[in-house]
């Protein structure tokens, strides 16, 4: 196994080695700046999948949660639904007041050797650091195709972030029952 790959084991209540390394890196940088222990206290990142949703329903969900930045974590940012192709989203999201960022090159799924193994690489750590910096700029949501995070690589990203102290909210439906007409 290459030196840059650290095998990860997920156990309940146990931080992965790489998450500890990134957390320690943040600890040192933020303590030096006079900030809290990690600088991640109170940080929330949302996750969402677009499968089976119309553009209108998807946008209504993002607005319902006050999302300001949508981070696309699809390795291949295309879709059978033309509204969810990268090129289209780069247009219609900003038109609706939401910044679009593609980080699929660093955080996208479908990795040789599996996603959990990929999480031990410097590229993954770079992607996590970029995601955290974006989340500090505004209400940030990571997006992939699969609606249920249980069946998507977002679950790995979410668990990793949670191990660093970031609060994760999976958007599965509307917060308020009044908005059901957008489905």
Q: What are 92-140's pLDDT values in tens digits?
A: 999 999 999 999 999 999 999 999 999 999 999 999 999 999 999 999 9
Per-residue pLDDT at 174: 87
CA 83 to centroid of chain Cα atoms? 20
Range list of H helices, 73-153: 86-95, 104-107, 115-118, 122-137
Give me the mean pLDDT over the 75-98 stretch: 98
| Domains of the chain from N-terminus onward | 42-172 (3.40.1010.10)
* 3-52 per-position pLDDT tens digit: 333 333 443 333 455 455 555 554 434 433 444 445 677 899 999 999 99
Report the C-alpha gap between 162 and 9 in whole angstroms: 15
Give me the mean pLDDT over the 79-95 stretch: 98
Q: What is the pTM of this model?
A: 0.78
Report the C-alpha gap between 53 and 61 in whole angstroms: 10
75 CB-contact burial (10 Å; exposed 0-12 / middle 13-18 / buried 19+): middle
Q: How far is CA 71 from CA 48, 126, 131, in A?
A: 10, 14, 8
Enter the tokens of residue 133.
């910096």
> Under a CB-based contact definition with an 8 Å cutoff, are residues 40 and 48 in contact?
no
Enter the tokens of residue 160.
């990793």
pLDDT > 90? residue 60:
yes
CB atoms within 10 A of CB 37: 12
Per-residue pLDDT at 39: 66
Enter the tokens of residue 55.
């553009």
């879709």: which residue's tokens?
79
């Amino acid at each position: 196994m290459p030196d840059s790959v650290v095998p990860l084991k997920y156990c309940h209540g146990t931080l992965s080695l790489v998450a500890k390394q990134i957390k320690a890196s943040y600890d040192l940088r933020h303590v030096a700046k006079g900030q809290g222990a990690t600088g991640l206290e109170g940080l929330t990142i949302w996750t969402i999948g677009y499968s089976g949703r119309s553009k209108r329903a998807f946008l209504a969900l993002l607005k319902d949660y006050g999302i300001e930045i949508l981070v696309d974590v699809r390795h291949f940012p295309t879709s059978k639904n033309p509204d969810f192709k990268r090129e289209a989203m780069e247009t219609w999201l900003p038109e609706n007041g939401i910044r679009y960022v593609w980080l699929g090159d660093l955080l996208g799924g479908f990795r040789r050797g599996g996603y959990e193994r990929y999480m031990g690489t410097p590229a993954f750590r770079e992607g996590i650091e970029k995601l955290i910096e974006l989340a500090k700029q505004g209400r940030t949501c990571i997006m992939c195709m699969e609606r249920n995070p249980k069946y998507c690589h977002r679950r790995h990203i979410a668990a990793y972030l949670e191990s660093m102290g970031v609060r994760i909210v999976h958007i599965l439906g509307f917060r308020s029952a009044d908005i059901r007409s957008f489905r």
